[in-house]
Amino acid sequence: MKATAGSSPASPARTASPVRIEIAPSVLAADFSRLAEELARVATADRAHVDVMDNHFVPNLTIGPAVVESLVRESPIPVDCHLMIEDPDRWAPVYVEAGVRDVTFHAEAAKAPVRLARELRAQGARAGLALRPATPVEPYLDLLEEFDLILIMTVEPGFGGQKFLDGTLPKLRRTRDAVRASGLEIQLQVDGGVGQDTVARCVEAGANVLVAGTAIFGAPDPARAVAELRAAAEAHLP
């Protein structure tokens, strides 16, 4: 939704759209023997976050394109794939063919991130760039227009249930500032240790897409956890 001039006479003129919070349950924390049912439980969320791991880029292994294609068919909400794999230049386009709307690959793994992002967009997907906690964002700030989403990892990728790293927040703020200055519509995603205790820090530092595995699927009522996370996030919008 675009902010329109004159829509709110009391507020100053704005050029950027208002921030829209999106909640992205990570199915890594769901029951893998009944993923379709698990997705149905979080149908009030905005996107399903699906972690693809290859046991090379990270020391863990999950699912590949065939299962993702089935999930896309079953999911009541758009699927967002987080590729924690080597050679995304080769594999990321396969996930677009599987029907994924948002494909995020790691900067550390891609040989040609700009070429890959352009290829994903040409296929009709949105291109996301993910950064491990120790990867600087600065080399990418002049290339923001190539991406639809930047994922600032708030834990080392590979496993759910880890402790949120506060040390990633300055990078999130710098990314937020650069996106604002650019005037581009780029979503800022955080992933890892996001829950009621940490969501305020994330939103205040500029995140609008909140990935949460344990905090949602580990809760007795995942739909309620989605609503509560959304309420907490919206309450802390700057």
The C-alpha atoms of residue 203 and residue 188 are separated, in whole angstroms, by 10
Q: Give whichever of 162 and 182 is closer to ligand DX5, judged by the CB atom.
A: 162
Token pair 């709110």 is found at 8
Contact mark string toward ligand DX5, 10..49, x via CB under 6 A: ----------------x-xx-------------------x
Cβ at position 176, least distance to Zn ion in Å: 20
Residue 180 neighbours by CB under 8 Å, 6+ apart = 16
Q: Please say if 54 is a catalytic residue.
A: no
Nearest to 117 by CA among 98, 102, 134: 102
Name the catalytic one among 31, 87, 191, 221.
191
Q: Which does 113 bind (CB under 5 to 8 A by kind): ligand DX5, Zn ion, none?
A: none
State yes or no: residue 176 binds Zn ion (CB under 5 A): no
Contact 212, 219 (CB under 8 A): no
The C-alpha atoms of residue 164 and residue 219 are separated, in whole angstroms, by 18
Q: Which does 160 bind (CB under 5 to 8 A by kind): Zn ion, ligand DX5, none?
A: ligand DX5
Residue 16's Cβ-side half-sphere holds a number of Cα atoms within 13 Å equal to 14
Contact positions toward ligand DX5, by CB under 6 A?
26, 28-29, 49, 51, 82, 155, 157-162, 191-194, 211-215
Active site residue ranges:
51, 191
Contact positions toward Zn ion, by CB under 5 A?
51, 82, 191
